[in-house]
Amino acid sequence: MEPAGTRRLELMVTGMDCPECAGHVRQALEALPGVHEVSVLLSAEKALLTVDPARVDLPALCQAVERAGYQARPPLLQQKTATSLAEQSQRRLTRTLFTLYGLLFGAVLLLIIVGEWLGLLDRLTDRLPWPIGAGLTLLAGAPIFWDVLQAARRGRIISHTLMSLGVLAALFIGQWPTAAVVVFFMHVGKYSERLTSERSRQALKRLAALAPQQARVIREEEEQVIPVEEVAPGEIVVVRPGEAIPVDGEVVAGQATVNQAAITGEALPLEAAPGSRVFAATLVQGGSLRIRATRAGSNTTFARIVALVEEAEAQRAPVQRLADRFSAWFLPVVLAVALLALLLRRDPLAAAAVLVVACSCSLALATPVAMLASIAAAASHGLLIKGGAHLERLAQADVLLIDKTGTLTSGTLQICDVLPLAGMTRQQLLHLAASAERYSEHPLAEAVRQAARDEGVALSDPETFEVLPGRGVRASIEGRLVSVGNASLLPEGQQPAEARNLAAAGKSLLFVSCEGALIGILAASDRLRPEVVEALAQLRALGFQSIELLTGDHEEAAASLAGPLGISYRARLLPEDKIAIVKAYQAQGHCVIMVGDGINDAPALAQADVGVALGVVGTDVALEAAHVALLREDWRLLPALVQIARRTMRVVRLNLVFTLLYNLLGLSLAAWGLLPPIVAAAAQSLPDLGILANSTRLLRQRIKSSPRG
């Protein structure tokens, strides 16, 4: 809940290259009076704030960001939901520049190593006076030195602070070529950080770019093309073959296949016809549609998904906070090592090398780059993970608790047993029962009508129709009085033994009578999702110690479902009972996943370490209720989710170990004088690229598609 009198603001922030930059922006905004909460999202290049509008305004927020050394502006909707042609052109130019820069980096590094070995740098020092060399060095590094001074003025030490001290140390002892090379690699490091951050942003940008910027609407009996945010609810939107649907809405005319991969990750298209619900960013194929808009712009399901993926960065994983704490004391330790190298070895070059080789920014990048890569990749496959904290808990989970109706089952009743009595045939029984239920709105009535349709049984219009509340229906069919309902419609003692057997199996029974005589029994049950058996087998293979069904249904229904699946169950549970069960597992030290439909199970989902809502497309309540949302109803996404989480944590641990060992080795070699400042400067820029290469493997994760049918 937001404090009374406050409002949420969004601010676009550019110029951030690493988590350290995001921290500077956050501190600058938090220092303003009237700012209550700040989340700075490096990947989305934005800040989310809760502010008191009476004490702080937008210009003041922008000025605070600019004083910290970055650029700020209010968001534009089209920049949030789509990538323009200009942005695409700029991205191509950036890739080209990075390629050229990489070639230049390799050439300069080779010249430096060869030049140092042949003594060419000493000759350069002799020929070019120190004041000129030092001046050129300071001029080349001026933008970075300015950032360091600005940070120092605010009492902060940044990663380039140490390298800047190394440059000054080299200049002080007359080694201006060494200082110049260090400045060059400071720029290399800055660009490598920018490359790493930009690479992690690309998945989000590709996701956002799927939403169209314009819509074709019917106004004054003509088609008009307008910006998508100007579409009003209720307007008719025309979508032609090959176009992306720009709004959420209901089809009112036309037929087409719709590829919903942008929302659910499902590769196979769905058939859309009048009455079908469709969503923004999905693609129309093989037909055209007219859609009555219900939501447009930032209110669509797709825009909400993009926003949640962006905001996931604010949910920092415990392992990330550990890395942040390590970074906080890493810089003082480096300063201490450099001072010891200077005092004990009397070697200013060794001290300078220590300052230059330290890679504090790579520590800060080790976790978020991997987390964001996995979250973005998962979103493209229909898995919405709301932050790194939930991803880390998923990797630790060992207990799975499952809701029944709408989760383990499809939530749709179907007739599974037809028992004709009194000389009736199966078709005759279905004909009379479905005709009597023709105008009933009860879910069991629809199941009866569907069973008749499946077997090609024609229905008759009832001459009379009466609903018997809590009991069933009574209708006159072809001159005969037919009743369909529960056992209360039967005379005392007329329930046959077959009915008791079906009820013991957890099925819902409908008794069909004609002129007061029982002529048949229909048994209905909720259908188990077809992929559940395979998914549970995969989860057991992943090491889940306990898998348990939690339901408010009676014992027989729970047992009939849990028994064949080989899982335990608890029946007749209230919402508070489910919460108590989750707490009991947590008290025993288990990490609990709770899977539900995201609406009725919201309290238990919130209590679990990870609450997973299944099949929540278009449902705001469900999207908000859980920590993870599966955007299509496919149980096989759940083991895939756990595998993604565990793979991500392996990458994070590898990033952290690599960074720590790299720094330890570099500092040790530099302190003992075995790593010249020039080589130390080159070495300093490499860990970021290593983390980038390791983490972006997560962007290529593949997830099995759901079964159809």
pLDDT of residue 372: 80
Confidence label for 706 from pLDDT (cuts 50, 70 and 90): very low
Confidence label for 587 from pLDDT (cuts 50, 70 and 90): very high
Per-residue model confidence as pLDDT tens digits over 304-323 = 777 777 666 666 667 766 66
User: Residue 559: is its pLDDT beyond 80?
Assistant: yes
Verify whether residue 403 is a known catalytic residue: yes
Confidence label for 555 from pLDDT (cuts 50, 70 and 90): confident
**Position 491: which residue type?**
P
Give yes or no for a contact between 40 and 47, defined as CB atoms under 8 angstroms apart: yes
pLDDT of residue 622: 55
**Position 644: which residue type?**
I
**What are the helix (H) ranges across 82-175?**
85-118, 120-127, 130-140, 142-153, 159-172
pLDDT of residue 298: 78
User: Residue 474: is its pLDDT beyond 90?
Assistant: yes
Confidence label for 704 from pLDDT (cuts 50, 70 and 90): low
What stretch of H or E contains 252? strand 248-259
Confidence label for 76 from pLDDT (cuts 50, 70 and 90): low
Give yes or no for a contact between 648 and 374, defined as CB atoms under 8 angstroms apart: yes
Q: Which of 606, 608, 638 is nearest to 625 (CA)?
A: 606
For 250, list phi and psi in degrees, rounded to 5: -120, 135
Confidence label for 290 from pLDDT (cuts 50, 70 and 90): very high
Q: Which residue has the tokens 């970074």?
A: 327
User: Residue 493: is its pLDDT beyond 50?
Assistant: yes
When comparing pLDDT for 592 and 320, which is higher?
592
**For the ranges 51-65, 102-116, 233-247, 598-612, the one whose mean pLDDT is highest:** 233-247
Where on the phi/psi map is residue 528: left (φ > 0), alpha (ψ -120 to 50), or beta? beta
pLDDT of residue 304: 77
CA separation for the pair 201, 17 (Å, rounded): 11
Per-residue model confidence as pLDDT tens digits over 604-629 = 888 899 989 887 655 555 566 678 88
Q: Distance between the two ends of the chain, CA-based, in angstroms?
A: 42
pLDDT of residue 2: 55
**For the ranges 148-162, 417-431, 494-508, the one whose mean pLDDT is highest:** 417-431
Per-residue model confidence as pLDDT tens digits over 361-383 = 677 777 877 888 888 788 778 78
pLDDT cut 90: percent of the chain above it: 21
When comparing pLDDT for 147 and 482, which is higher?
482
Strands across the sheet containing 480-485: 409-420, 517-528, 508-514, 480-485, 472-477, 464-468
Question: Hey, what's the torsion of the CAs at 662, 700, 43, 637, to 10 degrees?
Answer: -120
pLDDT of residue 542: 93
pLDDT of residue 607: 87
Rounded to an integer, what is the distance from CA 83 to the centroid of its chain?
Answer: 20
pLDDT cut 70: percent of the chain above it: 79
pLDDT of residue 180: 78
DSSP label of 279: -
Where on the phi/psi map is residue 618: left (φ > 0), alpha (ψ -120 to 50), or beta? left
The mean pLDDT value for 468-473 works out to 86
Per-residue model confidence as pLDDT tens digits over 30-53 = 888 888 888 887 766 788 888 888
Token readout for 347 is: 């070697």
pLDDT of residue 401: 95
DSSP label of 408: I
CA separation for the pair 43, 57 (Å, rounded): 25
For 224-245, b/e burial (b = at least 16 CB within 10 A) is eebebbebeeebbbbbeeebbb
User: Which is catalytic among the residues 147, 248, 403, 688?
Assistant: 403
Average pLDDT value for the chain: 79
pLDDT of residue 83: 41
Mutual orientation of helices 176-208 and 686-695 as an angle, nearest 10°? 20
When comparing pLDDT for 71 and 421, which is higher?
421
Q: For Cα atoms 630, 633, 637, give the angle at the middle one, nearest 5 degrees.
A: 55
CA separation for the pair 601, 569 (Å, rounded): 16
User: Residue 463: is its pLDDT beyond 90?
Assistant: yes
Give yes or no for a contact between 195 and 18, defined as CB atoms under 8 angstroms apart: no
Q: Which of 375, 329, 380, 336 is nearest to 355 (CA)?
A: 336
Give yes or no for a contact between 38 and 56, defined as CB atoms under 8 angstroms apart: no
pLDDT of residue 266: 60
248 bridge partner residues:
295
Where on the phi/psi map is residue 366: left (φ > 0), alpha (ψ -120 to 50), or beta? alpha
The mean pLDDT value for 648-675 works out to 89
Confidence label for 68 from pLDDT (cuts 50, 70 and 90): confident
